[in-house]
Chain A
Amino acid sequence: MVPKFKPSPLRIRSFCTKTVQQNPHHWPIKQITKTNFNESLSEIKNHISSSDFIAVSLQNTGSFSSPWHRVSTFDTPETAYLKAKFAAERFQILQFAICPFKLQASKVIAYPYNFHLFPRDELKMGMPSYSFTCQTSYLTAMAKEGFDFNTCIYDGISYLSEAQESTVKVRMGNPMAVDHATKSSSSPALSVADTVFIERVRSRVKHWKNACTDSDIKTEAALVTSLRKIVLGGEQFGSRPSMTIDVCSERQVQLVLKMLEDFSDVLVPLIIPAKGGGTQAVRAVLTSSDEDKHLLKRELQTFEFEQNKRVRGFREVIDLISASQKPIVAHNSLNDFTFIHSKFLAPLPPNMNEFICSLRLAFPQVIDVNYLLKDIGPVKKMTNISATIAYLKNRFFAPIEMEIPNQANENEGKIHGHNVVKICQLFGKLCSILKITPDAIESSDDFLASAINRYANIFYSLPGSSQEPTNEEIRGWTNDKRKVSCEDVVFLWGFRERISAGILKNMLQGSHEVFAEAFNVRMVDRSCAIVVFGKPGLSNTFKNVMNSKEVSGPLREMVSDGLKAAGYETYQRVCSSGLWESALADALDKALASHNCLSEAAYETKQSEIYLSNELINLAEL
């Protein structure tokens, strides 16, 4: 696509710096820490529910430790996910910016918030995280932007993931009110043992209830009362008398609950969870009247609510977003949502499909602006949002007016989280360019839905590589518009360090007949290169040659010097078994070593090969 208008390079620059750089520093983005979190919640809730979209943007303590850990063009969605997973499990989110926004004509009305997070172990249970990794370059970069680490660590909001919350609830052993879902399971036929059990419990409960309600008690001496208490096994629950019924199985829980229904006029059953999961006991609380019963239920609800709020912390916001079911706009969605899933939902599942399924339950629609960008044309891969906005500005006429009705920030400190507003802006622009027009949004929700659905939930369309194609090697790839099957890719390592792809290609060219056909070489990191064969089948020939005794000529020389080769499945194994060595060559060596010593592995390869043949990696997208 040839742009219609190309201003001089100099003009582009000055132009974009004026419009994009200037504004952001006046954007009133509300900064939220522990101190003002609770008071802001309801406001955020309102904004979320009245918005069309919610943009999110994260500031993490790191992304990838070694060059090859970064998601790159030779990654399949699966390996890309595994790389993102590795990062999400190690690094920490320090800032989480959300921005509920509305699109109205060419106007974006945004309510940006920037939350400062810190994983404080408030419950002394080693949660939400025991430790996390920081990359010095990230911290230094944040410091340059004036990030206040003291605010973050002293005053950051803590959180627990959904999975952690449920373990915490069990460990705290707080009584839970019985909801009807647990109650209404079908009652199986009663065995004699069940009947005996029920009758025994029933008589106990009856005695206790009668004793409690008996007005004569009041005349008894204190000693007698306490004795009676001991004998009957009664306890106090708040101000009300209660009784604990021990149970040994979930079945017995059901039986007890069913039995207690007979007393439902005054007794409220509560379930006390056991430390190791399951149920420890059922507690029956005696209420004096129907009114009192409702009061108790309300009390329980507020108690639970307060506790949840304390435990969940920032996740309250995630829950609000999730509950709103609004489409979420992100810039680097695979990266952001692996973080979100691992910190706020549950530990990341082992593969991409499970991840997407699990994520979709919480966030049904995730839109990656990078994917929208792809529809516009052969846009250069950009991770920098400002650059992308500038790029669009030069090529399309799509003015977007940003309106941020937030009150001026009361915080004295620096304002962070501009990215999230930029994402809103970019999204607004893209929508207007792609004719997902705001009018359409207003006129018909269906249209919007279908338009958005086209773009939603594509996590891996453009790998998050920000490498500028300045190197010659990569340029060669940029021109390559083909999609390459993983089968045609071979990883090469064991050559001397600091070799360039060009030199390596020259060395290979004369070394064996497979290299007579067209092939491409690219460095993955300093220790390892990938070779892509133009003609299918050659990669296997090459791998076979490398492993056979017949290897001869210059190639033999190279192999004697330590050259090794492995197919794409070895690389997949590296990612899936978590061999995140700092040099890819070491990781591949390890994967080969562990592969050789495992006998059952032969089966595995076969499977992955089948899987591989359907897998295409898109090398053109750079």
Chain B
Amino acid sequence: MKKRWPITILYRAFSSSTTSTTASFPLKHVKKSNFDSALSSLRHHVQAADFVAIDLEMTGITSAPWRDSFEFDRFDVRYLKVKDSAEKFAVIQFGVSPFRWDPLKQSFITHPHNFFIFQRQELPLDGAAYEFLCQTTSMDFLAKYQFDFNACIHEGVSYLSREQEDKALKHVNSTYEDESLDSWHSLKEIRDTHLFNIPDILFAERMKDRLSEWLGGLLRNRDGGSEVQPSFNDSKQQFETIFFKMRPAISLNGFTSHQLLLIQLVVRKHFKDLAYLRVSGENSCSQNVIVYIESESDKKMLMKEVKDEQKIDAEMSIKASIGFRHVIDLLSSEKKLIVGHNCFLDIAHIYSKFFGPLPLTAEEFISSVNKYFPHIIDTKILLNSNSILQQRMKKSSTSLSKAFSVLCPQIALGSKSTHLALQPSVKVEVEVDDIRSSNWNSGVKHEAGYDAFMTGCVFAQACSHLGIDFKQQSSSENLAHNEKLREHVNLLYLSWTNGEIINLSTGNRTSESLASNKRKNHYPKILFECIVIVWGFPSHLKAWDIRECISKVYGPTSVISVYHVDETAVFVQFSRAEMVSKFLDLKGSLDRNNDPISVLHPLAKLLEGGNTCAASYETYKEICSSTVSKVLFADQAKAVGIKWKTKLVESSDKTKEHESLRKVKAVNSDPSCGERTKNKNFDDHPCSFNGSRRTNTNLPIELLSEIFEELTDCENISHRAAVCMSFMASCHQNFLPSTFISSSISFLHCSHNHHQNLALSSNVQTHKHHQMFLPQLKESRCASTSYDGWLLTLPFDRKQNLYLSNPFARDRIKLGTAQALRVVTSISPLDPKCVVLDIHK
């Protein structure tokens, strides 16, 4: 299987890896500590910007090798694959680079930001833990480019998606409003539990004494008594008198949770005018207090007060954990032109991380994206679809770093090479923390911030080549509405592999149409209804074997291509759509019947092992839509819960197919009567024939005999005999009665020359002939048998033994001294249960 790099960012970087320098490119790194200040400055930059370039770094691209992008991906399947990737992997770095045209300086000013992001579970949300997948190759790749994982995990900015925020707010509302005061979780009532052991009882008594003492003191105090609280001194740390919501209270410190439980019990049981509360104090640690209350209504008031405060706190903490999403909200609300490079996956990531779960269909996704980001431009499409730019690119690769170095050499090389100034170039200046620089070392680090910067530069330069004059461009006008850009806005590569482009504003899909396209089309147009997916077949079968196997049944032109999804699964593309249902029907019936006839069927090779499954393209889509990701496709299908072996397709000619199938079986199960009417001599011919071959013209025997007369070469005869039934019958009648017999299963014909020990095998499907050296053929003739690949060797000397031999395995089985002309074996001769039938005159 050919090696495919699944990672788009990967090849972007591989080409740029040659110039790795340590000199730093001015880039604003944003982490938890400086996020707030960076956000406010970024806000101004984005508001003033003409466009904003973005780039993302993820922990992986494909969750399993078969989830990679294939030519055989229909757009909906492609979307499912992108969806899977965006849902499973995490974004760990986000580059934002707002570009603004400075009319004074006649150049672009950009502020490249490099955000480290890492989603932490900051809110006590219920249920599933946050988790993400890491693809080991991607991690290793990031490590190669010195990605700072510590900065990301230790100090990355966390975030909440809009959906998570809504959920959290709803959760807060329901906990603080819906339920009655008593079942409120932080004041959870405890049932009367019996105190089991002496220590607990003693402790409870002590607490009771202390509390009543405190209460007594409090009441005396209020009644104008003096400050008497003598016995509390020893445990001042534990029982600290404070004021809680204008009420006297005790703050409990240094107790174990069990002790607190006992105290709570005591308060409930014995003190009507005390209330036990657990409130979240400062530093987010909870504080346990016992508050003095005047009456039941006072208690309610207190509870409400506490509750409201806690609700506000909870809402505040939710707001605080929005984090990096503020940046996305900013980009979305400003409706600026977003520029990315091959950014469909990036957009999907942004959607799933910061808005909500990805919709089930590509259509819904596109319309929602368009709502959030009305203008997106993909520089990769821009470069590929415009002929002026293609010329500029000199047909080089459109990977980001390549495009950057070709289009913006003066920037890439840090304005050092003056001789390149011949071509009109857009000037770009970088400003970080109010320090402007127009001269820098070409810091080609593989970082989101730098990639975003490169994307922006490529875009600016491309615009200038397209004839957009930034000097004329008024600052109020949105670049996205520019005439020259209009046809490129909102087009994204759904899949770079097969050049399918989707228009985000209309939802239309088009294939990349440019003739100048560098990509070669390896595959003819794919009709998905002609595709069957087969998996679980014996592991030694390769695409070619499978093609051969199926061609034996449906003819050499039936299969257009066989494509490996991974080592356990293939797509088989048939030439006609109805063959899909035919194939699945046939396979289904072979699965059911495990008789020797099915074993002899050409497809048996494919079905060996009994785990081979097949289904139409729709099933493939279904498997792709699962959230499970097993490494091997066959395991995935099992994990998805597919228990059948063949999924039939409803089709109109199904009944017809069944009929012909039965006919084939009739021939198979009783070969001697199969074609009796045609020729009597043929009766003893044991070879089985399969249905598809009978479609060849059956010429009248008289005519055939004429042809025979012209043929002198026995090889030729054997080839023709393999094509036509009546030809073969006639052949038997008239010529060479036993020098050759063609097995319809193996398509192996042997002619021989008893002096040379050579045999010739020919394959009518491929029209290839193979000569082979057969030591077994010494002093004997050769005939074939009914089982794949086995030859019958007939000795010239009749007293010698007959052998079944396998020219490939160099194996030989002695049959004795019979005078057989043909031999039928029930199954492979290697099987101990094999029954051999020999026929002689």
Q: Which residue of A lies closest to B61 (CB)?
A: A131
Q: Does A62 contact B (CB under 8 A)?
A: yes
Stretch at the interface among A20-28, A149-157, A229-237, A482-490: A149-157
B64 touches A130 (CB 8 A): yes
Q: Does B162 contact A (CB under 8 A)?
A: no
A119 touches B136 (CB 8 A): yes
Could you say which residues of chain A place their CB within 8 Å of the CB of B135? 130-131
A121 touches B131 (CB 8 A): no
Query: Which one, A65, A121, A249, A502, contacts B191 given CB within 8 A?
Result: A502
Q: Does A135 contact B (CB under 8 A)?
A: yes
Could you say which residues of chain A place their CB within 8 Å of the CB of B803? 192-193
Within 8 A of A (CB), among B123-165: 126-137, 139-140, 142-143, 148-150, 152-154
Could you say which residues of chain A place their CB within 8 Å of the CB of B153? 139-140, 142-143, 149
Of A130, A140, A149, chain B has the most CB atoms within 10 Å of the CB of A130
Instruction: Determine the distance from Cα of A9 to Cα of B262 in the docked complex, in whole angstroms.
Output: 14
Q: Does A191 contact B (CB under 8 A)?
A: yes
Of B59, B130, B131, B139, chain A has the most CB atoms within 10 Å of the CB of B131
B809 touches A249 (CB 8 A): yes
Would you give the shortest CB distance from A118 to chain B, in whole angstroms? Answer: 8
A120 touches B136 (CB 8 A): yes
Q: Does B835 contact A (CB under 8 A)?
A: no
Q: Which residue of B lies closest to A199 (CB)?
A: B775
Would you give the shortest CB distance from B609 to chain A, in whole angstroms? Answer: 13
Would you give the shortest CB distance from A23 to chain B, in whole angstroms? Answer: 24
Q: Does A132 contact B (CB under 8 A)?
A: yes
- A120-B136, A140-B153, A502-B191 are contacts. A67–B810 as well, Cβ < 8 Å? no
Within 8 A of A (CB), among B766-824: 775-776, 803, 805, 808-814
Q: Does A204 contact B (CB under 8 A)?
A: no
Of A133, A149, A197, A578, chain B has the most CB atoms within 10 Å of the CB of A149
Q: Does B593 contact A (CB under 8 A)?
A: no
B131 touches A468 (CB 8 A): no
- A9-B256, A126-B631, A131-B60 are contacts. A148–B810 as well, Cβ < 8 Å? no
Query: Which one, A66, A150, A475, contacts B128 given CB within 8 A?
Result: A66
Could you say which residues of chain A place their CB within 8 Å of the CB of B776? 193, 196
Within 8 A of B (CB), among A59-91: 62, 64-67
Q: Does A252 contact B (CB under 8 A)?
A: yes
What's the tally of chain A residues with a CB closer than 8 Å to chain B? 59
- A9-B259, A193-B805 are contacts. A135–B126 as well, Cβ < 8 Å? no
Q: Does B208 contact A (CB under 8 A)?
A: no
Instruction: Determine the distance from Cα of A526 to Cα of B127 in the docked complex, in whole angstroms.
Output: 8
Q: Which residue of A lies closest to B810 (CB)?
A: A197
- A126-B65, A577-B641 are contacts. A153–B259 as well, Cβ < 8 Å? no
Instruction: Determine the distance from Cα of A62 to Cα of B90 in the docked complex, in whole angstroms.
Output: 15
Could you say which residues of chain B place their CB within 8 Å of the CB of A132? 133-134, 136
Query: Which one, A66, A252, A578, contacts B810 given CB within 8 A?
Result: A252
Could you say which residues of chain B place their CB within 8 Å of the CB of A252? 810
Could you say which residues of chain A place their CB within 8 Å of the CB of B811? 193, 248-249
B639 touches A578 (CB 8 A): yes
Would you give the shortest CB distance from A263 to chain B, in whole angstroms? Answer: 21
- A6-B199, A135-B130 are contacts. A594–B121 as well, Cβ < 8 Å? no
Could you say which residues of chain A place their CB within 8 Å of the CB of B118? 136, 139
Query: Which one, B64, B126, B152, contacts A526 given CB within 8 A?
Result: B126
Q: Does A134 contact B (CB under 8 A)?
A: yes
Instruction: Determine the distance from Cα of A65 to Cα of B627 in the docked complex, in whole angstroms.
Output: 14
- A6-B199, A131-B60, A150-B149 are contacts. A137–B129 as well, Cβ < 8 Å? yes
B133 touches A66 (CB 8 A): no
B130 touches A149 (CB 8 A): no
Query: Which one, A64, A139, A191, A583, contacts B813 given CB within 8 A?
Result: A191
- A130-B631, A150-B149, A200-B775 are contacts. A135–B129 as well, Cβ < 8 Å? yes
Would you give the shortest CB distance from A137 to chain B, in whole angstroms? Answer: 5
- A131-B60, A249-B809, A598-B643 are contacts. A140–B150 as well, Cβ < 8 Å? no
B134 touches A134 (CB 8 A): yes
Q: Which residue of B lies closest to A122 (CB)?
A: B140
Would you give the shortest CB distance from A127 to chain B, in whole angstroms? Answer: 9
Instruction: Determine the distance from Cα of A502 to Cα of B190 in the docked complex, in whole angstroms.
Output: 10
Could you say which residues of chain A place their CB within 8 Å of the CB of B254? 10
Query: Which one, B129, B540, B809, contacts A248 given CB within 8 A?
Result: B809
Would you give the shortest CB distance from A246 to chain B, in whole angstroms? Answer: 9
Q: Which residue of A lies closest to B148 (CB)?
A: A150
Q: Does A472 contact B (CB under 8 A)?
A: yes
Q: Does A553 contact B (CB under 8 A)?
A: no
Q: Does A470 contact B (CB under 8 A)?
A: yes
B136 touches A135 (CB 8 A): no
Q: Does B742 contact A (CB under 8 A)?
A: no
Would you give the shortest CB distance from A146 to chain B, in whole angstroms? Answer: 9
B150 touches A150 (CB 8 A): yes
Instruction: Determine the distance from Cα of A129 to Cα of B63 in the docked complex, in whole angstroms.
Output: 11
Q: Does A525 contact B (CB under 8 A)?
A: yes
Query: Which one, B3, B129, B190, contacts A136 given CB within 8 A?
Result: B129
Q: Does B22 contact A (CB under 8 A)?
A: no
Instruction: Determine the distance from Cα of A119 to Cα of B631 in the docked complex, in whole angstroms.
Output: 15
Instruction: Determine the distance from Cα of A136 to Cα of B92 in the docked complex, in whole angstroms.
Output: 12
Would you give the shortest CB distance from B238 to chain A, in whole angstroms? Answer: 9
A192 touches B154 (CB 8 A): no
B193 touches A191 (CB 8 A): no
Per-position contact with B for A267-282: 1 when CB-CB < 8 Å, else 0?
0000000001000000
A131 touches B127 (CB 8 A): no
B134 touches A131 (CB 8 A): yes
Of B119, B153, B256, chain A has the most CB atoms within 10 Å of the CB of B153
- A131-B60, A131-B134 are contacts. A276–B540 as well, Cβ < 8 Å? yes
Q: Which 5 A-B pairs have the closest CB atoms?
A: A193-B812, A149-B149, A582-B128, A136-B130, A276-B540
Q: What are 11 A-B contacts with C-beta separation under 8 Å? A: A62-B129, A65-B131, A92-B134, A131-B629, A192-B812, A193-B811, A193-B813, A276-B539, A578-B639, A594-B641, A598-B643
| Residues of B participating in the A interface, judged by any CB pair closer than 8 Å | 3, 59-60, 63-65, 90, 118-121, 126-137, 139-140, 142-143, 148-150, 152-154, 174, 183, 190-191, 193, 199, 254, 256-257, 259, 261, 539-540, 629, 631, 639, 641, 643, 775-776, 803, 805, 808-814
| Residues of A participating in the B interface, judged by any CB pair closer than 8 Å | 6, 9-10, 62, 64-67, 92, 118-121, 124, 126, 129-137, 139-140, 142-143, 148-150, 152-154, 191-193, 196-197, 200, 248-249, 252, 276, 468, 470, 472, 475, 498, 500, 502, 525-526, 577-578, 582-583, 594, 598
